[in-house]
Structure 1
Amino acid sequence: MSPVRPRPTPPRVDVRCAFTLIELLVAMGIFLILTVIAIGSFRGVNKDDRISAGAQQVKGWFEHARSMAIHDQQPRGIRLLPDANNPRFCTSVAYIGGVGFDETDTGVPLAVAGGITERKIVGVSLNGLLIRPFAVDSSDAPIIGSNVTAADWTALIENGSLSTITAQNHGLRIEVPRGSGHWYPVQGVDTGSPPFLLLGQPVRNFAQYIGQALDYRLELGPTVLPDTANPLPRGVVIDLDASALPDSWRPVMWPATSSPPAPYGGQMDIMFSPRGAFAGQFAARTGMIHFVVSTVEDAEQLRVQVNEHPANVTASTVPPAPYLPYPFVMADPLTSQRIVSAFLTSGRIASSEVFIDPGDDADPSQWQNNRAGSAFGDASRPFRYAIRGREAK
């Protein structure tokens, strides 16, 4: 009889019901670190950080437009868009590009027996100062007339590449006759039917062109490109009133009793050439333009006393009563602001702080660098850091 072998005992499996103390401490430590990071991140998004981010965004708009101009070898730029809720602020831009010329296609026949020519032609009138789509009467047969020029100009007016503001901001010109080498500045664009151009100087020897159909070559302004620009952070704006901008961008002075005030309109365009230099109205210009980046709350608060003249204004002369000057940059130590400046000669884009002059008053709330008051001071004072640098006081 064989001996009875004992049944093997199955291995014991330890069942753990909880973390060990060390594991629990490690888990709590990781959770604490993540909590601190999260809270720190939320605390970091304060007013100063948002404005700094906004200033960097504005610089990014410029640099991206310059890069596009160099890459595409075409004029490129940005168009500041007034905010829909408050046109005195800007929160986004559109990228724009030049579209070239509108000109006569010399391959299209001018004389069409018994029909209307499709050739784009213009006529000269008003002592050589007016250019309009050419229209003829029966005595000028076989040219009966052309509706093509009028239709094309109407379309160009609608897309913004041909208008009085565009002509003045971008220095549009027209060559009449085409190929003559004689270019004339476009001073105004009438949007009637048919539209016509008002020149800044008369066409040479205009008398010999009266009643004639002329070929032409017309420069056009930029139009919006499909590229999308990122808007400023929520609650951050470019304060257009506070910024140092070209006079042509400003709305007409409004009476102190008017409501609402005149909005910014037209085309606030900044163009770069294919070489990366400033183009358009800023080509071969010296000086600087400044954009004040602020929060909506601070910008609105500084306009509470709008009927009082601010201490500094953009205009070199004080407008007569009852008109108000533009509120300038209010360098209030209780607010946070940044200035983004464009150096027109070098093309450099830089960001700086607002200069605050405490004067003789020890109370920061009474610093008069740009507080509302009856006196007019140095309009460039708040931009001193941008112009001279932080160390040059």
Structure 2
Amino acid sequence: MSNPVPVPARDTEEPVFTAVPDRAQWRYKPRRAFWRSKVVRAVAVITLLVLCALVILALVREETGTEGFLVGLGLAVLPVPLLMAAFRWLDRVEPGPWKNLLFAFAWGAFAAALVALTANTFAVRWIATSTADPASADTLGATVVAPVVEESAKAAAVLLLFLFRRRDFTGPVDGVVVAGFTATGFAFTENILYLGRAFGEDQEFGSSGLGSVTAGTFFVRIVMSPFAHPLFTVLTGLGFGFAALAARRRRVRRTLLPLAGLILAMGMHALWNGSAVFGGWGFLVVYAMFMVPAFALLTWLAIWSRQRELRTISGQLPAYAAAGWLSPAEPLALSSMRARSLARDFAARTYGRPAATAVGEYEAFATTLAFLRHRAQRGAAGADFTAREQELLHHLWQRKPVASPALTYAARATGQVWAPPQYLDYSGYNPYRS
């Protein structure tokens, strides 16, 4: 019988495994389920979106013809950069990853558009067959079916990011930005279809110039209402954003808020479509009395939410300054967008572009730290709060020699903290020198 191998005793609370090699040299690695691999999931999502893109674009080209498709594509792309830049500007305090926003745009442009086109067509045909009244079927399709189908399809992207990218989805601003990118993508594909159809109609009847159907469609969809679809879906995004602020134990609130936002989005969409279907003065009344005020209100709410994020930074980071992690001026500079930009410019002029990059990373880590602490106070940070906090503090400490002087300078230059005026020595006298 062989002698038993002794088991090493643990004589400290935190044993040190000095013999363990680097992770790259591990012989025994924990196995992960196939679908948990990030590469597999990324390939699956990209493949799905590419297939949806090929199908929806083929359907749109079949509907409009090649020439109409190209004209619609050229005109529909015009508002896209402006809308994306506007939503990205709202997200400047704690910018979300571009991969999330590109996924949202692609989902809206391809997956949601494909679902909407297929479901709307099927529903209208079924209603027309059942009622033997094609005109009523078109009206019901535009005012009832389309709002429900399209807003649900767009909301799926917001829901997926809310569930699987929860750390990047922290409040109303994130909801607004994700929903805005999704709706911008959806409107892009829809505009290709409508503008391509209008161009084909003009070609058939020989219309051209300002009186053409293409010009009218362009004016209504691109000039007057490029924000229509983003406006509807932003209501859903706000619901998810406010749900993200709720504590994890408040499951009812975290469920009802997104549903309420989705229902409001459907209602606003139905009102807009109804005004377009019935035409006349109804369209102008709805546009002037509902769409424009709602757009102004949501714009104000989005800007207020961004300012609220800055107030969260100014309220949470002083605790780390008191503990010695930050200088007293840094929380003030980090809660001002102008001071942040000035700090990066100062670092670039003084130390070079790598220093400006380090300051930008410092600002991002500090912002994430402030929101992490804010969520922890509400009981929504998760069990790994301490580990994430320590990791962020580690990243800040690595960049502090460059970032701290730049942020202190920016705080003084923008009036966030008082700085004594510079006096010249007159005959050796300087009141600020002891």
TM-score (norm 2): 0.27
TM-score (norm 1): 0.29
Higher strand proportion? 1
Structure of higher CA gyration radius: 1
Higher helix proportion? 2
